[in-house]
Every structure is written in C-alpha cells, then in structure tokens.
Amino acid sequence: MSLRVGDWVTNCGTGFWRVHRVLDHRAWDPRTGGEFAQRLVFVTRFLSKSLKRSFTEDCCDESLIRPLDVAQRHQLDDFIAANPELLRKFDAYQPKPQDTLFTARVGVPADRDADPITRALAGGGELTVFEIGPTLRGLGLKTGAVPYWLVQFLCEDYACRDGYLRYKFLRVLAS
C-alpha cells in the first residue's frame, strides 16, 4: 500500500481519519531479537462513526490502515460539502505529538536500590531499541532475571534518526 500524507483512511479506530505523517524505521522483533522494516502511519480523526466532530490522533502499523472505499468516500464528500467550516477547523488543527515507551526488565539488585540505575542512565543520551539491552547489561544488570523491576525509555514524538527510533531513559519502576 502506498499511503501519503493527506490521504483519507480508516484504521482500527472507527470514523474517518487523515494521514498526517508516515514513518519508515527499523523495528525490534521481541520473538527473535532481530530487526525488520516497519511503516508507522500517524493519523488524525476528523469524524466519529456517527459523523460527529472527533479530532484526535493515533498511530499504528500500516497493515491496520485502509483507504476509504467508494461508499465511505461518497459519505465523507457529502458531509464535507454540507459542513465546510468543520473541515476548515480540522485543517487548522495541529495533531498532538505522540510518544512511545520501551520497557525493559532488569533483575532486582541485591541492595534493592534503584538510585544507582537512575544515576547511570539519566542524561545518558539517546539509545535505539537495539542498544538498550546491551547498555543495561553493561551496567551489570540482568535483563532476564526474576524478580525484576521495569526500566522505561521514552521516544518523544517517535523521534527517528538513521532509520531507528531514539529513546531516552525515563524512570525505574521499582516495587
């Protein structure tokens, strides 16, 4: 499928959506540990299924996006013709940035102190999803241990460079 910014589509959320961003990147397959090409599509909802104003954002894999069929396109065109002011408001709407989290498991340290992990990772710059595990292991943390804590990394607005999403340390969720 060849989606472009501005295309009207449907996705797993109901209603009428318009593509506002397309992102090709290398993603991590948690089953194999390998990487694969992924196309993410960022969409903004114009109308709900019941044809009510419903401006919101979503992001999903391209496989979950479908171009409007002929009947849907006619329904949308008829609505826009009867409601041009709502389309103008939609055109002026600025989609909110969308973030993504990566959560890694680490074994609970013997001293049960999360501060050393936080200090070691805070301000450490950007990491790809492929660098997070080796970075944690490089700190002496066991990424497959039980019991475990969660370490979260944030990728703001799906920041991508050189084909990879870029994450920054966010927090340790220790219990």
**3-state class of 19 per DSSP?**
strand
C-alpha–C-alpha distance, residues 151 and 103, integer Å: 6
Q: Are strands 8-10 and 16-28 parallel, antiparallel or unpaired?
A: antiparallel
C-alpha–C-alpha distance, residues 7 and 53, integer Å: 18
pLDDT exceeds cutoff 80 at 52: yes
161 by Cβ neighbours in 10 Å (0-12 / 13-18 / 19+) ranks as exposed
pLDDT exceeds cutoff 80 at 60: yes
C-alpha–C-alpha distance, residues 6 and 145, integer Å: 46
Confidence of residue 1 (pLDDT cuts 50, 70, 90): low
Q: What is the pTM of this model?
A: 0.89
Which pLDDT value is given to residue 175?
78
